[in-house]
Homo-oligomer: A and B are copies of this chain.
Amino acid sequence: MKEGFSISGLYTDFYELSMAQVYFLQGAHLKEAVFDYFFRKIPFRGGFVVFAGLSSVLEFLEKLQFSSDEIEFLRSKGLHPDFLDFLAKFRFKGKVYAPKEGELVFPTEPILRVQGSMLETQIVETLILNFLNFQSLVATKAARMRMVAKDKILIDFGLRRAQGLGGYHAAKACMVGGFNGTSNVKAAYDFGLEPVGTMAHSFVQSYDDELTAFSEFAKNRPQNCTLLVDTYDTLNSGVPNAIYVGKEMEKRGQRLTGVRLDSGDLAYLSKVTRKMLDEAGLDYVKITASNQLDEWVIKSLLEQGAAIDVFGVGTSLVTAPPDAALDGVYKLAFADGKPRIKISENLKKVSLPGKKQVFRAHHSDGTLVGADIVAFDEEINFPKMIHPFDPLQQLQLHPYQFKPILHMVMENGKVLTGIHDLLTSAKYCQEQLAKLPDEYKRFENPHIYKVGISEALHQKRIEIKSSFKN
């Protein structure tokens, strides 16, 4: 698995480099700093977010550097020569703590914790936000589709409607959320996925009649042959022609893999198509459906008994409407020996200081209680809870098991062993979703997973805030 885009130190906002120059010239660039990545709002009015994008971030951090041409470009933009000499030799040497890719994560809790020099932790902000925000968004959308699609096959058809090159990481992230394949050949090549797809309407149109188009296709590409049956008239022309070709394939000792419906009422058409195929003895032929699918449409189609085996999902998967972005941020929590916060008029938006861990409550049977506690790293053993979070306060009364979800995944700029591959992450995600009670997975007004903070963290935040007198 490798990322197929050029990894460059310039994949950042200019202000990261502006700030870095000041740290450098001041001699403050090597002081220790800790940043947290977290988000504030669950997209899709849902009850959980699937963490994804970690492997992309780690690969980028390992390889991040500035080429000599890039350094010259920055020189032309007025950056200081001494700073540029430093950047020319720069490599990321920090530590990263993160959940496993595919982990369920919730608002306000630290998800990625980046620890290193002030300079290196600052300049990687943009790429971390860019990768994690988008891949977690798409993985979450995919997981919602997987929940309703149950054991049906889900394929990413989104590249053509993706936000430009964004389609590349969408194809990767949807695998974490539970998709089975992608039409995106580049992503399949780079990430070891199965590329999927057979024909478009243009193929059928390019022949004078549909039957010839189907016959030629089946003869020249018999493996995984799925015929698109809605170019002219699905039930009167497309399906009968596909059946004819399917029977011809049988005579050649081959099997038609499927038919695809791409317009009209997919519930009605799939049921009639299934009946026609079965009556022709082609009960093994699968029905694929595509056309403006999302988690709501898939749910509704299956509730109506649609005979669909494979869903091809495009725009709604890769652009994840109505929430085009996860609102993740990257906030300084510790610098130069001191915990730090960002003040806000809204107390809930005041960031959490210090080096922190997230402890997740489990029942004895392994299922999730629905509560995490953010505490200082040191509070390893059952951190004390605070008052404003009633549900968490109750937790103290019970012998729930708390497990940390952040693990060190990079040290001295090198990825540690044990990072999951995509399929392992996908499996891990489904295991976690199975442990999450149904009320958190509801589409409408799901139960709110509680995130509390430890008494020690609460006190530290108050102490720092009160030290700011205007």
Q: Which residues of A contact B (CB under 8 A)?
A: 4-6, 8, 10-19, 21-23, 25-26, 28, 33, 35, 70, 73-74, 77-78, 80, 118, 122, 125-126, 129-131, 133-135, 137, 157, 159-170, 183-186, 188-189, 195-203, 205-206, 208, 216-217, 220-221, 223-224, 231-233, 236-237, 263-264, 315, 318-322, 324-325, 327, 330-332, 335-336, 338, 340-345, 468, 470
- Contact in complex: A200, B163 (CB < 8 Å): no
Complex contacts, A340 vs chain B, CB 8 Å? 205-206
A-B contact pairs, 28 of them (CB 8 A): A12-B185, A14-B195, A15-B197, A17-B185, A18-B197, A18-B221, A19-B198, A19-B200, A19-B217, A21-B221, A74-B185, A78-B224, A125-B160, A126-B160, A134-B166, A161-B327, A164-B166, A201-B331, A201-B332, A202-B332, A205-B332, A205-B341, A206-B332, A233-B470, A236-B470, A319-B319, A319-B324, A321-B321
- Contact in complex: A13, B206 (CB < 8 Å): no
Given contacts A202-B122, A340-B206, contact A163 B319 (CB under 8 A): yes
Given contacts A165-B169, A199-B18, A321-B322, contact A159 B185 (CB under 8 A): no
A306 CB to nearest chain B CB (Å): 19
Of B6, B73, B220, which one neighbours A25 at CB under 8 angstroms? Answer: B220
A37 CB to nearest chain B CB (Å): 11
Q: What's the Cα separation between A392 and B26 when bound, in Å?
A: 68
Complex contacts, A345 vs chain B, CB 8 Å? 263-264
- Contact in complex: A162, B134 (CB < 8 Å): yes
Complex contacts, A14 vs chain B, CB 8 Å? 183-185, 188, 195-197
Q: What's the Cα separation between A169 and B162 when bound, in Å?
A: 12
- Contact in complex: B164, A18 (CB < 8 Å): no
- Contact in complex: B344, A206 (CB < 8 Å): no
Counting chain B CB atoms within 10 Å of each CB, which of A4, A8, A220, A327 scores highest?
A: A220
Complex contacts, A324 vs chain B, CB 8 Å? 163, 315, 319-321, 324
- Contact in complex: A161, B223 (CB < 8 Å): no
Counting chain B CB atoms within 10 Å of each CB, which of A35, A125, A166 scores highest?
A: A166
A29 CB to nearest chain B CB (Å): 11
A129 CB to nearest chain B CB (Å): 4
Complex contacts, A330 vs chain B, CB 8 Å? 160, 202
- Contact in complex: A160, B185 (CB < 8 Å): no
Q: What's the Cα separation between A184 and B21 when bound, in Å?
A: 17
- Contact in complex: B162, A130 (CB < 8 Å): yes
Complex contacts, A11 vs chain B, CB 8 Å? 185-186
Q: What's the Cα separation between A168 and B131 when bound, in Å?
A: 13
Complex contacts, A468 vs chain B, CB 8 Å? 232
Q: What's the Cα separation between A15 and B197 when bound, in Å?
A: 4
Of B77, B159, B223, B237, which one neighbours A126 at CB under 8 angstroms? Answer: B159
- Contact in complex: B185, A10 (CB < 8 Å): yes
Of B13, B33, B327, B342, which one neighbours A159 at CB under 8 angstroms? Answer: B13
Complex contacts, A327 vs chain B, CB 8 Å? 161
Q: What's the Cα separation between A133 and B237 when bound, in Å?
A: 32
A371 CB to nearest chain B CB (Å): 29
Closest B residue, CB atoms, query A157: B13
A131 CB to nearest chain B CB (Å): 7
Counting chain B CB atoms within 10 Å of each CB, which of A160, A164, A166 scores highest?
A: A164
A1 CB to nearest chain B CB (Å): 13
- Contact in complex: B201, A342 (CB < 8 Å): yes
